[in-house]
Amino acid sequence: MGVPFRPALISEWPSPRKRVAELSAGWRSMSLVRRYFIVALLAFAIFTALAGIWVSDQIERGIVHNREHSAIKLVHDVVEPLVQTLPAGAALAPNATTAFDKLLAAPTIASQVAVMRLWRANGELLYKSDRFGGDMHAPPATDQAALEQALGIKLFEVNAPLYKSGTREIIAVAQLYGVANALHAELGWARLQSWLILAALALAIMAVLFKIVHGASGQIEEQHRVINAQKAEEARLVARSEALRKLADVIHRRGMEHNERMLRRIGSDLHDGPAQHLALALLRLDELAPLLENSAQEEPSTSNNALHTIRRATSDALKEIRHISSGLALPELQKISLTDALVIAVRAHQRATGTRVETVIGTLPGRLPLPITICLYRFAQEALNNAFRHAGGDGQRLSASYEGEMIAVEVADSGPGFVVDRAAMGGERLGLSGLRYRVESLGGSLQINSAIGRGARLTVRFRNPLA
């Protein structure tokens, strides 16, 4: 039974895009020195190859040109004088043929020239040193490859015109096939030298640049280490600062909760202690009133006035204590929204003062941290009390809005106003400085706008941390 076909194997090969991404990530993860080494190695190979090819070609051209120039000089210096007496239409004289044979047989010439032929301008063969077929009038082997195969050596071809002495008239054309074995060896050695020189030069440049890059890479890596250490220290400080900020927020919230509990206890103590004693004193005064009126026969007006003064002062003190205790007592804000808390503050103020507060409340968040809700409730309570105390309740107005994650609550009046700088520094209005501290301790801001004769406007803003 054969192995079942697994088409899923095709998908196991990584896609080209994934492969490119992996190579790119691997390249970025390399150090600067390793990247330089790879790039320099490729550049070195390409430069050496291209430069070597160009230099070798130039050397080859120069060597071949020198050999051709030497061959042409040989033709003009030795061969050309021997054909000066060549009559038109006649064959080459025997003595000239013998002279050519001796010339080509000389060791110095034979090592350089393998085959020589002389042609008339009309294409007639006058002389050839190779005797292929033995027939002078047989077509010679003009193909260089055939000659190289017949002689077993490498050849190069040179054609040089032979002029009549003192003129530009061409008598014949000399065709030389030079021995190229030594030429190829010389070319090979020249190419090798050029490649070695270029390689040494490129390696020297690469070594100098490598030393520079290695030093720069060390400095960069050291700077990276310093920067990473600084980033780690900065992250540690930021985390510590964030932890301290959260701790400060917790302390502020607990402090506010503690203050609210203290205020609630003070209000309860005022209501259950001095207020009850004053109420009892008023009750006993009412019981003593008939007796004092009957016994004060001599000075009735004085006794009545004293009794009335004591009753009024005691009643006013009881009313003030009850008002203070009701202001200190905090409603159950944990289970209601900010809108309901502000409405409770406005209604309590209206009942206590007998004044009217214009109320404009927009759509507010349904859920807020309890400390912010308590802070805004206390702000509305304190600001409305200030409006009643200093402006007599004239033009009292409370507005609240929520835009761009920012909650704004504003209390305004049309009273006489005051100097903002003096109020901001404390002075006679310690309630405003305490209010500012309460708001800013929770990350909010309090803005006070007022001037003499222009009323006052207090605005608190909080960013909703639950948005």
Q: Which residues contact 138 (CB under 8 A, 6 or more apart)?
A: 132
Q: Dump pLDDT digits (tens) for 73-102.
A: 777 777 777 777 776 666 777 777 787 777
Q: Return the pLDDT at 278.
A: 66
Q: Return the pLDDT at 323.
A: 61
Q: Return the pLDDT at 449.
A: 92
Q: Return the pLDDT at 362.
A: 93
Tell me the whole-structure pTM to 2 decimals: 0.43
Q: Could you tell me the domains of the chain?
A: 333-467 (3.30.565.10)
For residue 74, the Cα-to-chain-centroid distance in whole angstroms is 74
Are 157 and 141 in contact by the 8 Å Cβ rule? The answer is: no
Are 397 and 413 in contact by the 8 Å Cβ rule? The answer is: yes
Q: Return the pLDDT at 87.
A: 67
Four-CA torsion 67, 72, 73, 77, nearest 10 degrees? 140
Cα separation, 74 vs 313, whole angstroms = 148
* Mean pLDDT per 10-residue segment, the chain (467 residues): 47 69 76 73 76 71 71 76 70 76 76 79 78 41 68 76 81 78 67 77 78 76 87 90 80 67 62 60 64 56 62 68 61 82 92 91 89 90 90 93 93 90 52 82 90 92 88
Q: Return the pLDDT at 131.
A: 47
Which of 345, 325, 341, 323 shows the shortest CA–CA distance to 333? 341
The sign one gets for the Cα dihedral 24, 28, 29, 33 is: positive
Q: Is 3 left (phi over 0), alpha (psi -120 to 50) or beta?
A: beta
